[in-house]
Structure 1
Amino acid sequence: MKALDRGSQGLLFVVVGTAPLPFGSIEPFWTHLFLVLIAVSCLTAPWGRMPDSLHRSAGRIVLAILVVGVVTLLQFLPDPWWTVPDPIWRTVAPQIDRILRPRASSIASPPWETLGPSFLFALTALRALPIGADREAAKRLLHVVAWSGLFYAGFGILLLEIEPDRVLWVKKVAYVGNLTGPFVNRNTAATYFGSVAVIWLILALRAWFGSMRHRRRLWRAATLAGCLTCFAAVTLTGSRAGLLLTVAALLFTLFRLLPSYVTLRRYRKRAALVGMAACLALVEIWGGQVGLRIQAHGFADPGRLEMYRIALEMVRERPWLGHGAGSFEAAFPAYRSDVLGMFGVWDIAHSTPLEIAVEWGVPVLAVLCALWIWAALTIWRAGRIRGRDRSVVVAALAVGGLGTLHSMVDFSLQIPGYAVVFAALVGCGLGRSRLLTASRPDGDARRALTPDGFEAAATPVAGTR
């Protein structure tokens, strides 16, 4: 059974470590390959030995998957009696020779290139729940994300210096002169490298303030170098939201995790101020491209604001079942206004929540938002428990906040290569949080924080029953 568990965990680690590499896994082949690996990992996970609290969390994720699946089925069934068909079928029918049976969706068949990444994201979060219940497995997940991300950051910086017009072995179509790493889009690259920088900061705090076995000079230097390299990669992307949210995530991590290692208040404040000053200095030194973009265009593009207005109009017209999964590119041209002009291809809403509402409807968005709010509150409550393992919990909070806020103004979570990393870290943090909050001591035992930042075994307290 132990070998089976290790193999199941290994499949998850392989997906998390390699999914960013093939252009963010945006090609259906890679998405489906990783989906198969995650499905096998889920089937071989040790669910029978998991606490009931994790079973309930897994049940909520499975319920959300079923809701999305049922709504998608209703969208693509022909001749729907439960809703008004999309108007596009009435418009197109007279112009072609064959009979088209109307559907609630504006396209004829389910787009597997849309459903594949969605199920990959959900199953990755589901599989990461048991990882959070295993202290050593959670450590390994953090290291997999850290080292793979550092490799991609170093390779991306080197490639930017040697051939700035290429991404991997393909010539760039856009973002020439900006670092994109293994991704096609610089904003997704900024979010990914920012998330990895958060993990390296956590490892650096453990190396500098943790147990003696982590105080080797080489390892301490490596953690700082890893964090700085990934932060430099973020600045070289030229992404405005990516850089600002990365700085916010790093400062949040510092303020939340530092009290676990430094007990004296004055030293905590000094270290936090030094960290804030360091972040601002690095932004000033390396953030030149981002600063120029902010000066030239501000914090928001007028075209994107118009896109959001149009997306809200699309939601208003079909709020219950939406326009169909994966149909945004097909449905948008009918709503495109003159404000956007003739230039630009708007095949994505540049806001994941808005695109979910457009394609699946408001009820599905409400279900997913309720699930995410519940997960965020659970992780937040666990992060406030004193004397507990908070490294994985803080990582989930920081990366979850970074990815969620960025997805509101872009589409990072729609890129499988970043989505699986995000889902694995948040799912692991949720699993750890459920375990901590469910077993919170009420006087019969106390769990101490080990010097490396992970939870020690429970020890009885003298004088308690």
Structure 2
Amino acid sequence: MSSEAIRAPLAPNIIPALVVASALPPLLAYNLTPAATIYNEMLALLGWGAVLLLGAMGLAARGRASRPAWEPAIWALGLLAMAPVVSVGWRQLPVSLGAGPAVVLVTALAVLCLASGLRGPQRFSASDGLCWGLLLAGLLSVAVSLVQVFLPAQADGVWIARSGLPGRAIGNLRQPNHLASLLMWSSVAAVWLAGRHEAVRRGLPGLLLALVFAVVLSASRTGYVGVALLAVWGLLDRSLAKSVRASLLATPVMMAAGWGLLALWSASGQHAFGAAARLAEGAGSPSRMAILRDALELVRANPWFGVGWGEFNFAWSLTPFPHRHTAFFDHTHNLPLQLIVELGLPWALAVLGLLLWSGWRLLVGALRADTPELQRQRRAMGMLVLMIGVHSLLEYPLWYAYFLLPAVFAFGLGLPEAEPQAGGARASPVLVPLLGLAGALLVTGSAYAYWDYGRITAIYAPGVDAAPLPERIARGQRSWLFAHHADYAAATSLPPGPEALVAARRTAFSLIDARLLKHWSQSLAQTGDVEAARYLADRLREFRNPIGDEWLAQCEDAAASAPAFLCQPTSGVIDWRTLR
């Protein structure tokens, strides 16, 4: 394949769309309560909807795409997309909690179909667009990180998110681990682009130095693992230019140098050194070890059908665990375990097996590519997948559209191409229109989601002329996508009783916290279910949260008039399913 053919553009409009779709969502700092990154997710769906729409238009006009091979990963995403739908229909998961994941997973399926259906020159152009976007997002996140650590007063919360972790950068995604993963993606993107553009190749050492330094600022142990993977890549991949391999091999030295500079800066004054404090905690997190242990207990109790999609937090919070960690978790922080505990062993293992099968095909294709250019392209896309895959064993980044959609696009670009169709490589007469339709629906649906979320922000951040709270809550409960946020407000602000109880049971599928447990228990007692009310109070005791402790302290205060149900333990264990 000639260099000119490799650089042939996919379509005039899709490259800018890819840059925007991969760059802007992680950079958006503006948010409105109660969901800190909901606008980032909306922007990701809007951007990738545009990619699907423009990509389908370009493929239909040029007729240059093959039908995607029915990759195992496509079947895996199809099985996953069914899970929230099944939970809504079978397990009474609220529609607002099933619709969002279903849309994101179907979008991921469409993005994977688009990427895996592209052919040689198109894949190279698409890899360029994706990597330019990731590199731009990473470099601008470096600037954000510098402000958050060295000039925290300049973070306005609109353009640059405020860090609540002294001495640590959190990026505009507000999580150090997410920032670190983005920076690792940017590093991989820089390596790919260095093989395509001389200017990037010359500047690669400086680019990697900046990105690695920001990883140190994040104090993310996941990021440190990512830096080690970069060095291993440089050690093993002989298809890369010698200067590129040398830059990758130098990344651990860059990290050590950044660490040393930050230590000196911290010692020179009263400055917090977040990386040192974080590393002092050790290689593992006690809270995550505890949650993994408890999740395995739930798997043993629910091996065949799991606890249900989106119900891990519900089942875990309402199951007695004598040695429970006191934080509230809504994920196991391990992707395979999350799928197993929620879907059950048969369904989850089918999904994971299909993903591993496609992963093996990606690896073999990267090792056996016909040309050095194709080797570099497939290996770069494989490294993007590997970086986020490793993170997914320690966190849950792929539950966010701004990580999932670039990841599946890179996955599709790295897979071996489909065999040419008989009669020539023509665009699929069925798939391409479906991709275009999906893109159009995402673009319009994102606008609707923005409007729909406004009904929720009116509850938590009302304007000057806002309607009374009960009216705002009722309006929010009519939301298709975000009603669970309105239910939380209803459950915790309305007087204990039947209406608050119904809202508590719905919003509990989203996240159970101390405040919700307290009000839920009160509503159960008010409606006559004293045994269940005591059971929830017992679970609240386990969490040892200040909100719960203050409420439960009435039982120890002779002068307090504690509710009669509160101070007596429940007579037995209640199946969490009966509390829905």
Alpha-carbon shift at residue 107 of structure 1 (Å): 5.7
Which residue number in structure 2 is paired with residue 72 of structure 1?
84
1:329 aligns with 2:329: no
1:226 aligns with 2:207: yes
- Give the letter for the 2:222 counterpart: A
Mean Cα displacement is larger for which, 22-31 or 324-333?
Answer: 22-31
Alpha-carbon shift at residue 408 of structure 1 (Å): 0.8
Verify the 8 A CA contact 2:84 2:102 in the aligned structure 1.
Answer: no
Verify the 8 A CA contact 2:76 2:355 in the aligned structure 1.
Answer: no
Alpha-carbon distance change, 174 to 6 in structure 1, aligned in 2, over 3 angstroms: same
Verify the 8 A CA contact 1:9 1:41 in the aligned structure 2.
Answer: no
Verify the 8 A CA contact 1:132 1:138 in the aligned structure 2.
Answer: no
Verify the 8 A CA contact 2:239 2:375 in the aligned structure 1.
Answer: no
1:138 aligns with 2:121: no
Which of 216, 222, 226 pairs up with 1:235?
A: 216
1:409 aligns with 2:423: no
Alpha-carbon shift at residue 404 of structure 1 (Å): 0.7
Which residue number in structure 1 is paired with residue 251 of structure 2?
279
Alpha-carbon shift at residue 183 of structure 1 (Å): 0.8
Alpha-carbon shift at residue 307 of structure 1 (Å): 0.2
Which residue number in structure 1 is paired with residue 352 of structure 2?
369
In percent, how many aligned pairs have the same letter?
18
Q: How many residues align?
A: 387
Correspondence 1:287-298 to 2 at 5 A: 287=259, 292-293=276-277, 295-298=279-282
Q: Partners of 2:301 and 2:275 in 1: how far apart?
A: 39
1:378 aligns with 2:361: yes
Which residue number in structure 2 is paired with residue 449 of structure 1?
none
Correspondence 1:186-201 to 2 at 5 A: 186-201=176-191
Q: Partners of 2:98 and 2:379 in 1: how far apart?
A: 36
- Give the letter for the 1:297 counterpart: E
Which residue number in structure 1 is paired with residue 328 of structure 2?
345
Alpha-carbon shift at residue 372 of structure 1 (Å): 2.1
Verify the 8 A CA contact 1:32 1:116 in the aligned structure 2.
Answer: no
Q: Partners of 2:349 and 2:211 in 1: how far apart?
A: 34
Task: Tell me the SS of whatever aligns to 2:252.
Answer: helix
Alpha-carbon distance change, 155 to 221 in structure 1, aligned in 2, over 3 angstroms: farther
1:46 aligns with 2:78: no
Verify the 8 A CA contact 1:322 1:357 in the aligned structure 2.
Answer: yes
TM-score under structure 2 length normalisation: 0.59
Verify the 8 A CA contact 2:161 2:171 in the aligned structure 1.
Answer: no
Alpha-carbon distance change, 106 to 148 in structure 1, aligned in 2, over 3 angstroms: closer
Alpha-carbon distance change, 220 to 7 in structure 1, aligned in 2, over 3 angstroms: closer
Correspondence 1:371-450 to 2 at 5 A: 371-385=354-368, 387-388=371-372, 389-430=374-415, 433-434=416-417
Which residue number in structure 1 is paired with residue 550 of structure 2?
none
Verify the 8 A CA contact 2:82 2:102 in the aligned structure 1.
Answer: no
Which of 140, 145, 164 pairs up with 1:151?
A: 140
1:359 aligns with 2:342: yes
Unaligned runs of at least 5 residues, structure 2 = 1-7, 30-35, 264-272, 421-580
Alpha-carbon shift at residue 215 of structure 1 (Å): 4.3
How big is each residue's C-alpha offset from its partner over 1:209-265, in whole Å with a ceiling of 9 and x where there is no partner? xxxxx545xx44433322221111111110112212x22321233134444545xxx
Alpha-carbon shift at residue 366 of structure 1 (Å): 1.9
Verify the 8 A CA contact 1:349 1:355 in the aligned structure 2.
Answer: yes
Which residue number in structure 1 is paired with residue 108 of structure 2?
121
Query: Could you say what the CA RMSD is over the residues aligned between the two structures, in angstroms?
Result: 3.4
TM-score under structure 1 length normalisation: 0.72
Alpha-carbon shift at residue 157 of structure 1 (Å): 2.2
- Give the letter for the 2:28 counterpart: P
How big is each residue's C-alpha offset from its partner over 1:335-370, in whole Å with a ceiling of 9 and x where there is no partner? 36242354x221222122222222233333223322
Unaligned runs of at least 5 residues, structure 1 = 78-102, 208-213, 263-267, 440-465
Alpha-carbon shift at residue 200 of structure 1 (Å): 1.3
Alpha-carbon shift at residue 291 of structure 1 (Å): 5.9
Q: Partners of 2:57 and 2:291 in 1: how far apart?
A: 43
Task: Tell me the SS of whatever aligns to 1:113.
Answer: helix
Alpha-carbon distance change, 4 to 397 in structure 1, aligned in 2, over 3 angstroms: closer
How big is each residue's C-alpha offset from its partner over 1:63-86, in whole Å with a ceiling of 9 and x where there is no partner? 334323444333332xxxxxxxxx
Which residue number in structure 2 is paired with residue 56 of structure 1?
70
Q: Partners of 1:195 and 1:401 in 2: how far apart?
A: 10
Higher alpha-carbon Rg? 2
Q: Partners of 2:49 and 2:341 in 1: how far apart?
A: 28
- Give the letter for the 1:144 counterpart: G
Q: Partners of 2:356 and 2:319 in 1: how far apart?
A: 31
- Give the letter for the 1:240 counterpart: R
Which residue number in structure 2 is paired with residue 308 of structure 1?
292
Correspondence 1:159-198 to 2 at 5 A: 159-163=148-152, 166=155, 168-169=157-158, 172=162, 174-198=164-188
Q: Partners of 1:164 and 1:411 in 2: how far apart?
A: 30
